[in-house]
Amino acid sequence: MYVILDLFLAFFKTGLFAIGGGLATISFISEIGRTYQWFDTDVLTMMIAVSESTPGPLGINMATYVGYRVYGVVGALVATGSLVLPSIIIISMIGKMLDRFQNSMYVQGIFRMIKPIVLGFIFSACLNIFLIAFFNHEAYNTSRNIFEAIHIKSIVLFAIGVFVYQKYKKMHPIVVIISFALLGIIFKL
């Protein structure tokens, strides 16, 4: 029963503070993995790849997966519900007060303050994805040799993907995603 409470609190906190959408949740979900040991960085990488490739918001897809992994269907429902609950509460409160306060200089100031924070969350998430995709922390911690820890195949595949996407801009993104997912499987990335 404590696991359900942990799931609820962890994802409620994520939903409350991960302002900026799915990418902003990655840092929080990464921290959940470290705190509760429900998954490691390899699983996090896989969750990001699958969540980005499937329909639906990234954060919700990841919360559902973690909840299911930890406590089955009930865990999936709890994690997903607790992730969206803060948004429902906050939007309901804002909706009731918006007409009265939308032109307030204080409200406008708060929104101006939130923008750089959201940018910071998204930058942090992008940096985490970059480090997970191109750098093996465990290998570096073991050998302390940075060249053994760099994922050369991932970097080369990423560079090829960027080149192909830039060269053939009319190519549908789904084709690119599926093609490089298959290449990742073939090269065991």
Beta bridge partners of 135: 150
Q: How far is the C-alpha of 73 from the C-alpha of 71, rounded, in Å?
A: 7
User: What's the pLDDT tens digit per position in 75-105?
Assistant: 999 999 999 999 889 888 877 777 777 778 8
Find which of 16-25, 79-88, 117-126 is predicted with most confidence, using mean pLDDT.
79-88
38 in Cβ contact with 45 (< 8 Å):
no
Average pLDDT over residues 172-178: 82
State residue 139's pLDDT score: 67
pLDDT tens string 130-142: 888 888 767 666 7
Residue 61 CA to residue 66 CA, distance in Å, equals: 9
In terms of pLDDT, which residue wins out, 5 or 45? 5
155 contact partners, CB below 8 Å, separation of at least 6: 134
pTM above 0.75, yes or no: no
| Positive or negative torsion for Cα 136, 142, 147, 148 | negative
